[in-house]
Amino acid sequence: MSNQPDEITVALLGGGTVGQQVVQQLTAHAGDFAARVGVPLRLTGVAVRDTSLQRTGIDDSLLTADAQALAASGADLVIEVMGGIEPARTLILAAMRAGSSVITANKALVAADGATLYATAEECGVDLYFEAAVAGAIPLIRPLRESLAGDRVSKVMGIVNGTTNFILSQMDESGADYAVALAQAQQLGYAEADPTADVGGHDAAAKAAILAELAFHTRVTMDQVSCEGIEEVTAADVDAAREMGFVIKLLAVAERATGASGEEGVIVRVHPTMVPREHPLASVRDAFNAVFIEADAAGEIMLYGRGAGGQPTASAVLGDVIAAARNRFAGSRGPGESIYAKLPVLPSSLALTRYYVNMEVSDKPGVLAAIAQAFADHGVSIQVVRQDGHGDEAGLIVRSHLAEAGALQQTVEYLRGQDFVKSILGVMRVEGEAGQ
């Protein structure tokens, strides 16, 4: 075993929220890391934009503004916690070409161009790990990539964005408006100054694409994910959901589905969703994340924990560091890309789901019958109707049984055009109910 290294060198790209925690943990538990890997880990540099800033726990002498040189320095491991697509992608590719295994927390990059990262890792014979890219501290990538590799996953569904879960929890608990809850999330540091990626659902969509690719052995990119954010969710929607025994969550759903010609495919979608209060996902509050996995042999699995923050994310990064370092020490490699199934990514209109429709209608004889007929004409069966009359108009809430999302959308579009429908106040999918 004379070729075994006597240390594992580590270069860090990014010394922000996550990067500083990674260094602090590596330093504080250096002895444990050495014992777990077999040799000590040595940090060779930390690339940042501004080297004059103080970084908690990072020795100034390690800081460099030359990220390119550090990435290509040939360290055993390169950790990328800078974020964004560029220059992160160029730096990761340079690191791999210099023989380094790469650990990244960058969901945006993995979801947008995982194919290039995987292909370059394969070409260069190095590892690519990205546990921290989805749901922070929650072990999710490794279970899908390795623990469940012998099973057939049928659905992955969960709350993978802490900011939006905090906002929706606040709206539910205190009756706050969306704008007030968003301001609170910003004050507490959950939401960015520009919260678009979180509230628009794009952060969750990137994570959903990554999960779908691993679960179904099929390449799924961010632009194939049907995505709706929470900006349109009103206090009235939250109240109506509460009255019916539901809570609103931004869910990411990746599932096997059947295409128009009967072919097997996958659908990946992110949208605000009404979840029954007794469903385990309903009790996931504040900035926590949780993901449900359904697999043929394993059945249902739920993983819950902190999806964001420096320390929780560093935990996931460091788990990958240990795995990649052990591989280096042993001269072996971790798992590569698995996309052999090559299933088509189907339009989300084919997803089987339930709808909740909240509308103001004329309170006249025959209106309820006409609305019921509109659902029937589109092949959608009604599960619950609640009418609340006030003068010439009535508030009407309809919940459907399972139907294709496309048929449900067409029903709503048809109703929008009818003069007895004064306004459609809210439309939302319902997930997590048992039965049809």
Catalytic residues: 207
> Is 158 among the residues that bind ligand HSE (CB under 6 A)?
no
> Is 320 among the residues that bind ligand HSE (CB under 6 A)?
no
**Comparing C-alpha atoms, which of 208, 214, 279, 212 is closest to residue 248?**
279
Choose the stretch contacting ligand NAP; rule: CB under 6 A; options: 257-265, 305-313, 361-369, 398-406: 305-313
Report the alpha-carbon distance of residue 343 to residue 339 in Å, rounded.
Answer: 9
Report the alpha-carbon distance of residue 301 to residue 148 in Å, rounded.
Answer: 11
Site size toward ligand HSE (CB under 6 A) is 8
**Contact pick of 127, 198, 404, 431 for ligand HSE (by CB under 6 A):** 198
* Closest approach of ligand HSE to the CB of residue 401, in Å: 33
Strand 264-276, strand 421-430: pairing? parallel
* Closest approach of ligand NAP to the CB of residue 214, in Å: 17
Site size toward ligand NAP (CB under 6 A) is 24
Q: Which does 272 bind (CB under 5 to 8 A by kind): ligand HSE, ligand NAP, none?
A: none
Q: Which does 386 bind (CB under 5 to 8 A by kind): ligand HSE, ligand NAP, none?
A: none
Report the alpha-carbon distance of residue 423 to residue 316 in Å, rounded.
Answer: 47
Of the pair 5, 83, the CB lying nearest ligand HSE is at 83
Q: What is the DSSP string of 67-123?
A: HHHHHTT--SEEEE-S-SSTTHHHHHHHHHHTT-EEEE--HHHHHHHHHHHHHHHHH
Q: Which does 29 bind (CB under 5 to 8 A by kind): ligand NAP, ligand HSE, none?
A: none
> Is 203 among the residues that bind ligand HSE (CB under 6 A)?
yes
Report the alpha-carbon distance of residue 25 to residue 417 in Å, rounded.
Answer: 60
58: phi then psi, degrees, rounded to nearest 5? -110, 125
Q: Which residue has the tokens 């929220």?
A: 17
Q: Residue with CB nearest ligand NAP?
A: 16
Strand 288-295, strand 352-362: pairing? unpaired
Binding to ligand NAP in span 12-41, by CB under 6 A: 14-19
Choose the stretch contacting ligand NAP; rule: CB under 6 A; options: 8-16, 23-31, 146-154, 409-417: 8-16
Choose the stretch contacting ligand HSE; rule: CB under 6 A; options: 47-55, 160-168, 256-264, 275-283: 160-168
Contact 104, 81 (CB under 8 A): yes
> Is 247 among the residues that bind ligand HSE (CB under 6 A)?
no
Of the pair 38, 87, the CB lying nearest ligand NAP is at 87
Sign of the dihedral defined by the CA atoms of residues 389, 394, 397, 398, in that order: positive
* Closest approach of ligand NAP to the CB of residue 58, in Å: 10
CA atoms within 13 A on the CB side of 205: 22
Give the footprint of ligand HSE on this chain (CB under 6 A). 136, 161-163, 198, 203, 307-308
